[in-house]
Structure 1
Amino acid sequence: MLDLFQGARLTPTQRRIAHSLVQHASSAAFLSAAEVAELAGVSQPSVTRFAMALGYAGYPALRRELRALVDVGPAPADSGDNAMQRALRAETQHLERMADQLGSLDAVREAAGLLAASRPLPVLGLRAAGPLAGYFGYFAAKVHPDVRVLDGGGTMLLDRVDQARAAGATAMLAIVLPRYPRETLDVIREAGAAGLRVVALTDSAVSPVAGHADVVLPAPVGTQLVFDLHTGPMAMAMVLLQAMCDAAPEQAQRRLEEFEAYASRRHLFEA
């Protein structure tokens, strides 16, 4: 379904509609324009304008296209899986789709080049994205000389972004996951206005951050449990870090060797 929206110049309201359609792909193709509007929290005329922005005569024409993309064949026989198993199997499908999308590494390489060259490298992740920002930052610090994880909100957050920029930062990684904290989006807009290139790792190519980022790396989250599963975003974070190592292999190798010597000298690990 994302292919319908790729390359289209959408307003923030239209991006919200597109995101709602992606998030509810299995049912959205059978909703009326009024129902899509209610789902996305917009007006019904906005849904019509959205369809026309994509080149369709109106929403009914777009809905026909959506229905053609949805598998409406007979439902598969009940596998007997419980809810937990179904949630994890859905994650494997997310990873399969991500693997297919990585047939082209252009976006990942562009993002890696921007981040590897930034000194320092700010990594933004608030609320649900905070642990992933810390996870990425922990490993990135082994191959990058100055990684600054920004995982706490508040009045000093913009100060820390300004400090990073003043110290020489040219790019920022922003990890933005549902429910998309408003403060995160505000910081990204401010960072872009200050001249930082923004790489967004988010759940969808039409997430609210997409319109404010220079490079978007989509990685879907699992939504079948009470709280989202972040398997996809974590995998994309490590793919991005691998690409950063590939972008500056000599530096990465040198820093890894220095860390191993340090770890051995301090007896940091049992194995």
Structure 2
Amino acid sequence: MSSASARLLRLFEGHRLTPTQRRIAHCMVRRATDAPFLSSVELAELAGVSQPSVTRFAVALGYDGYPALRRHLRELPAIEGTGGAEGGPQAFPAATAAGNAYQQAVRAEIDNLRHLAELLADPAPVERAARVLAGSPTLPVLGLRAAAAQARGFAYFAAKVHPDVRLLDEGGSMLADRLDAAVRAGSEALLCFALPRHPREVPPALEQARAAGLRIVMVADSAFAPVAHPDDLLLPAAVGTGLAFDTACAPMLLARVLLEAMCDGLPEAQARLEEFDARAAERGLFL
């Protein structure tokens, strides 16, 4: 994530935004260097929303209107001098001296992890989310396509300490059935990994879960994930975009942190781990 994107995230965080407004914010983060130079009409077209929605978005952030927001963006030190339409000096001259593309991708992930560490300075959101997940008798874990690997990894380890974890990593007509089964089994919460590109099956699955009364905990690539709802417990962790395919080191680490916090809310967690270790030794599971 660039410094410009990080600045925008810090500007937007802490505001209760509607799904449409999150979509606008997400678009601006993705186009951070261009954002200060976009008109409200251009931003609306890029985000796929109406021009009045852009105005309401700026007002929701505390500005008199979009022109005031754009003026503020142009004053941010991390965005000044990016050139925009004028082709001025670059704000990040070190980027060209940061090594080859592979090294730059690694360094970008390190920046994502540093940003995650800053967010975790306040552990309350993770601890609150962990209590919700630990208290659910049945715990469905949703992650489709690119997010499936994150969901699968979480479910694998969570099943060692939680009595009933159900992995939902395939879309299609069976997804609704499996959600219904989890609700019948007593589920009170659902963990969703929402990473780009966001599959179109995710929103209806989350709507079904919310309609059934499930509390949604979401690990997403930004605080403005387009599939999120204002009532969700959303934990952001940026993905790397420097390679042909996104990298998800920060979401993976955040998932492990969430697991650690979950263990504190499960009184039998340590006993379950010790029991697993004993059985694994008996069966010779590991070298």
The equivalent of 2:268 in structure 1 is 251
CA positional deviation for 1:212: 5.7
**Quick check: 1:44 aligned with 2:62?**
no
Q: What is the TM-score when the length of structure 1 is the normalising length?
A: 0.93
Q: What is the TM-score when the length of structure 2 is the normalising length?
A: 0.88
The equivalent of 2:194 in structure 1 is 176
Q: Is 2:19–2:230's contact at 8 Å kept on the other side of the alignment?
A: no
CA positional deviation for 1:231: 0.8
Counterparts of 1:80 and 1:183, CA distance in 2: 39
Summarize the Cα distance change of 1:57–1:212 in structure 2 as closer, same or farther, 3 Å threshold. Answer: closer
Question: Residue 228 of structure 1 is aligned with which of 237, 246, 250?
Answer: 246
The equivalent of 2:87 in structure 1 is none
Pairs within 5 Å for 1:55-204 = 55-71=62-78, 72=80, 74-77=91-94, 78-79=96-97, 81-204=99-222
Summarize the Cα distance change of 1:133–1:34 in structure 2 as closer, same or farther, 3 Å threshold. Answer: same
Counterparts of 2:223 and 2:53, CA distance in 1: 20
Q: Counterpart of 1:152 in structure 2: which amino acid?
A: E
Counterparts of 2:208 and 2:109, CA distance in 1: 34
How many correspondences in the alignment? 269
- The answer for unaligned runs of 5 or more in structure 1 is none
Counterparts of 1:269 and 1:168, CA distance in 2: 34
SS in 2 for 1:200: strand
Residues 78-136 of structure 1 deviation map (CA, whole Å, 9 limit, x = unaligned): 31511111111011001001100101111101110011111111101111111111111
Counterparts of 2:128 and 2:77, CA distance in 1: 32
**Quick check: 1:269 aligned with 2:286?**
yes
Q: Counterpart of 1:255 in structure 2: which amino acid?
A: R
Q: Counterpart of 1:267 in structure 2: which amino acid?
A: G
Q: Is 2:194–2:220's contact at 8 Å kept on the other side of the alignment?
A: yes
CA positional deviation for 1:161: 1.0
Q: Is 1:200–1:213's contact at 8 Å kept on the other side of the alignment?
A: no
The equivalent of 1:209 in structure 2 is 227
Deviates more, 1:155-164 or 1:212-221: 212-221
CA positional deviation for 1:59: 1.3
Counterparts of 1:9 and 1:233, CA distance in 2: 22
CA positional deviation for 1:70: 4.3
Q: Is 2:194–2:219's contact at 8 Å kept on the other side of the alignment?
A: yes
Summarize the Cα distance change of 1:80–1:50 in structure 2 as closer, same or farther, 3 Å threshold. Answer: closer
Q: Is 1:176–1:201's contact at 8 Å kept on the other side of the alignment?
A: yes
Counterparts of 2:61 and 2:33, CA distance in 1: 20
Report the RMSD for the aligned CA atoms in angstroms: 1.7
Counterparts of 2:263 and 2:37, CA distance in 1: 45
The runs of 4+ residues in structure 1 deviating greater than 4 Å are: none
Pairs within 5 Å for 1:10-21 = 10-21=17-28
Determine what percentage of the aligned residue pairs are the same residue: 58
